Amino acid sequence: MRNGLSTIDVIIINYNSTDHLLRCLKSLFDASCGVAVQLFVHDNASKDNVDRVSSLFPQVRLTKNDHNLGFARGINNALKQGSAPYVLILNPDTIVHEGFFEPALKYMDNHRDVGIIGPRILDSDGAVQGSARSFPNLLTALFGRKSLLTKIFPDNPITRGNILTSRSDGMTPMDVDWVSGACMLVRRNAIQDVGAMDAHFFMYWEDADWCRRMWHKGWKVTYFPQSSIIHYVGVSSDKNVFRSVLEFHRSIYRLFKKHAQRPHSFLRPLVYWGLIYRFFFVLAFQSAGRLLRIGQRRPWYETAIDMQPSSPRIKVLRFIARLNVGGPSIHVHLLTTGLDGNRFDSALVTGKISPQEGDMSYLFEDSSETKPIIISELQREISPVMDLKAFLQIFRILRQKDPDIVHTHTAKAGTNARIAVMMHNLLRRKSTQTVHTFHGHVFEGYFSRSKSLSFVLIETLLAKSTDVIVAISRTQREDLSGKYRIAPAAKIKTIPLGFDLKPFLESNPLKGRFRQYLGLREDTLLIGIIGRLVPIKHHAMFFDAAKIFLAQNPEIMVQFVIVGDGELGEDLERYAKRKGLSKHIRFCGWRRDLPEIYADVDILALTSLNEGTPVSIIEAMASSTPVIATDAGGVFDLLGPQDGRPTYHGFTVCKRGVLCRKEDAIGFAKGLKYLVELDKVRREALVREARIFVEQAFSERRLLKDMESLYLDLMEKNRMKPPRSIS
């Protein structure tokens, strides 16, 4: 509360800009310290899941229109819902800076004759937009803020007289003809006096009309640079260039008809046909610009805030098929949110989760600036129609983002995105670099031999156009270059995974919570397996080994816990029941409290047929939990070489855990018995060795440093390449 002001109404009209809207809402709440904000979002029949607003910001009053009402009509409908003395009208593609409200509201309180103020509006690169202007005249069409003649002759007196922000010293408020409707703070008393926006303006120029009417009624319009926002121009309108350009010209003609006085009113036919010709010219020019990415010189009136020269950030566009539970999702979240923001501009594109899979999109809940772009057609199941739609969506995103580097993860996203990059580079004469990370591979254990060979061939062909292939373990690199010959070793770089291991390294105080949840005594042996319930994880072998272990050790009180879910969930429950294991096995589903689980589990098991670098083993090691696992993929690199003791029948004791043969339930049961009987000194030495290893090898900082070095080297090599011929 300030000076008795209880609330300020904020109105946002959304149309297919929900990703930006969510960031805008977060910035609003962050900036609203000391001011009670009541938010009204009116959505004009968007198709980008606007219901996310209600789930993430339940305090927002969301109204969903069944068709596009336009900007002015949407504002007018929202004005009827509120009653606060001030109304902030805001575009969804904006970010409100901290400290926005206090100086603006104080100024309005102290200047009762001001009806509207408009803040300083910045581009995403810090340049000041020409948001405060003079009322348009006949020459504005030729020398407007973004017209062709202004781009050719930027320092001309006509544009200078139109763009009034150039006269501002950056601090002192000044009266202007009109301010942009992208952000304006309006006094409700002035609205009641002047009337709402003119709903005949579908979009564009309704703000200039409203400000002119304010002046006619004696209310001032003021440019107020002490408050500021960022505006990502044209997020909604860029989705339909034809409609955007058409409505712009319709509205400027309506504005002329409404306010033109004699003798200018006699020029109406000339203005009409002039705007018709201008419409076709602008439409052709903008379409060509979007297609060819025409470089444009920044006009004199868009003055950069920071005048120090700086290198442009490297744009990295990352693709992953889906954010299901597992290491790849954790990996891409860390890379998307953790890279140095001064040097890299990261974005993530992902697909749709299958109903049976656990969803890790919650990782991005606190990362408003890096929310993933969702392609619903990109999903696990193979469907020619859906896959083609996903490919076209990927190609469209490549055109929009124009990245320097595309980094793909997982097989399906890697295939679609790398083919799209090839076409993008060929058709648009670009040199976007490609990186693909193998988190595992589908060459063994997933499909029939003939299908597996076809996947090897596809990856071999894709590798020829991939600039760098990343393997996440030494063993995987040897498989890719030697066993399967996907690419020469020189093209494959080993970069192990990295994680925020702090919750697991500090999990000991959580001991007892998971046991309490399960209702188990402290002396009950707890053996856990954590992962997706899918064939490649081979949980059936875990149950077979459990059956053998129980039969051979009836004196041991033991419970086996299954953390995870997936397509085999019901089948595995039936399998455990047939084995007579129902009393000894607990299915826990997906859980986020993994540090609590590792703190209580006595042994972590893994029975996979194929793996990349299993995250559950790394997390268990960081939690000082002993590990037993099958020799699949990168497991050997985690457990390390033999510790010098003789090899036991069915299992091998390694430096950091116990290694078993795949599909050998008897050997796995023996390995479990070995770990159970391990004396305290040797057990502590084993888990200490494992803990030190993962803390050094899989740190978050190390991963980010390695990946940033890879990207920088890649861009430097690309810069040194000779220019491509355009003949």
Q: Are strands 174-175 and 220-231 parallel, antiparallel or unpaired?
A: antiparallel
End-to-end, the C-alpha distance of the chain in Å comes to 67
The residues, ordered by sequence, that sit 6+ positions from 217 with a Cβ below 8 Å of its Cβ are 115, 190, 193, 194
> CA-CA distance, 182 to 90, in Å (whole number)?
5
- Residue 652, classed as helix, strand or coil, is strand
Residue 79 CA: distances (Å) to CA of 27, 32, 189, 366, 631:
22, 20, 12, 31, 65
Closest alpha carbon to 566 in 531, 611, 591: 531
> CA-CA distance, 692 to 594, in Å (whole number)?
20
- Residue 468, classed as helix, strand or coil, is strand
The residues, ordered by sequence, that sit 6+ positions from 99 with a Cβ below 8 Å of its Cβ are 31, 227
Look at phi and psi of residue 16 and say left if phi exceeds 0, alpha if psi is from -120 to 50, else beta: left
Average pLDDT over the chain, rounded to an integer: 84
Compute how many other C-beta atoms are within 10 angstroms of the C-beta atom of residue 489. Answer: 12
Residue 157 CA: distances (Å) to CA of 85, 160, 301:
39, 5, 12
**Which residues in the chain land under pLDDT 50?**
1-5, 292-310, 723-727
Compute how many other C-beta atoms are within 10 angstroms of the C-beta atom of residue 6. Answer: 12
- Residue 111, classed as helix, strand or coil, is coil
pLDDT confidence of residue 484: 87
pLDDT confidence of residue 719: 76
Type of residue found at 681: V
- Is 280 in contact with 245 (CB distance < 8 Å)? no
Closest alpha carbon to 692 in 644, 640, 647: 640
- pLDDT tens for each residue of 386-402: 888 888 899 999 999 99
> CA-CA distance, 60 to 82, in Å (whole number)?
13
- pLDDT tens for each residue of 453-502: 878 888 899 999 899 999 988 888 998 998 889 999 999 999 988 888 99
Looking at residue 298, the DSSP 8-state letter turns out to be P
pLDDT confidence of residue 264: 53
pLDDT confidence of residue 407: 97
List b or e across 180-210, with b for residues whose CB sees 16 or more CB atoms inside 10 angstroms.
Answer: bbbbbbbbbebbeebebbbbebbbbbbbbbb
DSSP-derived secondary structure for 351-395: EEPPTTS-B-GGGGTT-GGGPPEEEEEEESS--HHHHHHHHHHHH
Sheet holding 558-563, edge to edge: 585-589, 558-563, 525-530, 603-606, 627-630, 657-660, 651-654
CA atoms within 13 A on the CB side of 661: 11
Domains and their CATH numbers in the chain: 8-292 (3.90.550.10), 314-494 (3.40.50.2000), 502-698 (3.40.50.2000)
> CA-CA distance, 420 to 422, in Å (whole number)?
5
